[in-house]
């Protein structure tokens, strides 16, 4: 009985960890895309557009950081 509980707990933990990593990857891609857009805007002398691309980026970075901390332990 204990082995079954331990195995089920491990499976759930692994599934949660996998889901967290998948979400972190999505956010990472979004962050990199926004930086790329900002760089393109700056190359085209569109500083206001670059600012728009970066708007709200801090929140995404904080979410990304929080997700990584969840799987740290």
pLDDT of residue 73: 66
pLDDT tens-place string over residues 19-51:
999 999 999 999 999 999 999 999 999 999 999
Q: Which domain holds residue 31?
A: 2-70
Residue 72 pLDDT exceeds 90: no
For residue 3, name the pLDDT band (cuts at 50, 70, 90): low
How many structural domains comprise the chain?
A: 1
Residue 1 pLDDT exceeds 60: no
- Where helices occur in the chain by DSSP H, the ranges are 2-43, 47-54, 57-70
Under a CB-based contact definition with an 8 Å cutoff, are residues 57 and 13 in contact?
A: no
pTM recorded for the entire structure? 0.80
Residue 2 pLDDT exceeds 60: no
């Amino acid at each position: 009985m204990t082995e079954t509980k331990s195995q089920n707990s491990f499976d759930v933990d692994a599934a949660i960890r996998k889901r967290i990593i998948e979400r972190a990857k999505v956010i990472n891609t979004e962050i990199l895309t926004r930086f790329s857009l900002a760089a393109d805007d700056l190359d085209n002398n569109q500083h206001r557009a670059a600012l728009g691309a970066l708007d709200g980026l801090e929140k995404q970075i904080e979410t990304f950081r929080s997700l990584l901390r969840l799987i740290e332990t």
